[in-house]
Structure 1
Amino acid sequence: MRSEEVSETAAQEAPKAENLAVHALPVAGGILALCPLPGAGGDYRGDLDHINDWKPGLVLSMTTAEEQAAAGGQMLGVDIQSMASRWIHLPVPDFGTPPPEVEVKWPAASQAARKALAGGGRVLVHCKGGCGRSGMAVLRLMIESGEPAVKALARLRAVRPCAVETQAQMEWAYAGYEIGQEAE
Structure 2
Amino acid sequence: MLIHALPVGGGILAIAPVPGAGGDYAGDIAHLTEWRPAMVISLVTEVELVAAGAAMLGQDVQDHGTRWVHLPVPDFGVPDEGFKQAWPGISTRARKALLGGGRVLLHCGAGRGRSGMVALRLMIEAGEAADDALERLRHVQPGAVETEAQMAWAMAARREAAVFLRHDG
Shorter-chain TM-score category? over 0.9
Counterpart AA for 1:168: A
Residue aligning to 1:132: 113
Residue aligning to 2:48: 67
Residue aligning to 1:151: 132
Counterpart AA for 1:29: G
Residue aligning to 1:28: 9
TM-superposed CA distance for 1:74, in Å, is 1.1
TM-superposed CA distance for 1:73, in Å, is 1.1
Q: Which runs of 5+ in 2 are unaligned?
A: 164-169
Q: Which runs of 5+ in 1 are unaligned?
A: 1-19
Aligned residues: 162
TM-superposed CA distance for 1:95, in Å, is 0.1
TM-superposed CA distance for 1:180, in Å, is 2.7
Counterpart AA for 2:73: V
Residue aligning to 1:109: 90
**Secondary structure of 1:130's match?**
coil
User: Which range moved further: 29-38 or 69-78?
Assistant: 69-78
Counterpart AA for 1:170: M
Counting aligned pairs with the same residue, the percent is 59
Residue aligning to 2:99: 118
Residue aligning to 2:146: 165
User: C-alpha separation between the residues in 2 aligned to 1:47 and 1:75?
Assistant: 13
The higher relative CO (CA closer than 8 Å, separation ≥ 6) is in 2
Picking from 55, 62, 79, the partner of 2:36 is 55
Pair 1:87-2:68 in alignment: yes
Task: Name the structure with the higher helix share.
Answer: 2
Question: Under a length normalisation based on structure 2, what TM-score does the superposition of the two structures give?
Answer: 0.94
User: C-alpha separation between the residues in 1 aligned to 2:47 and 2:8?
Assistant: 31
4+ aligned runs moved over 4 Å, structure 1: none
TM-superposed CA distance for 1:83, in Å, is 1.1
Q: Deviations over 1:36-92 (max 9, x none)?
A: 000011011110110001000000000001100011111111111011100010000
User: Aligned Cα RMSD in Å?
Assistant: 0.9
